[in-house]
Amino acid sequence: MADDEEGAEPWVRLLRREQTARNIHGSLRAAGITVPLDAVLDLCNRPVRTHDGNPSPLPPE
């Protein structure tokens, strides 16, 4: 399976991560778990390791 962020423009990766954070936040709220959206955004915007072990850098702010 290909990495969704592979080859994507930095702004596209950031937009996808923000949408993912909002989806997670909504799921948590639906389950009765109250977490600030900012906390979920911070978690989703942390660099992750790709399948080859290299970090996936965040786009510059």
Residues 29-54 have pLDDT tens digits of: 999 999 999 999 988 877 766 666 66
pLDDT band at 2 (very low <50, low <70, confident <90, very high): very low
pLDDT band at 59 (very low <50, low <70, confident <90, very high): low
- The percent of residues in the chain predicted with pLDDT above 70, rounded, is 64
CA distance 33 to 53: 32
Question: Whole-model pTM above 0.85?
Answer: no
Q: Pick from 1, 12, 9: which is nearest to 51 by CA?
A: 1
Q: What is the mean pLDDT of the chain?
A: 79
Q: Where are the domains of the chain?
A: 10-46
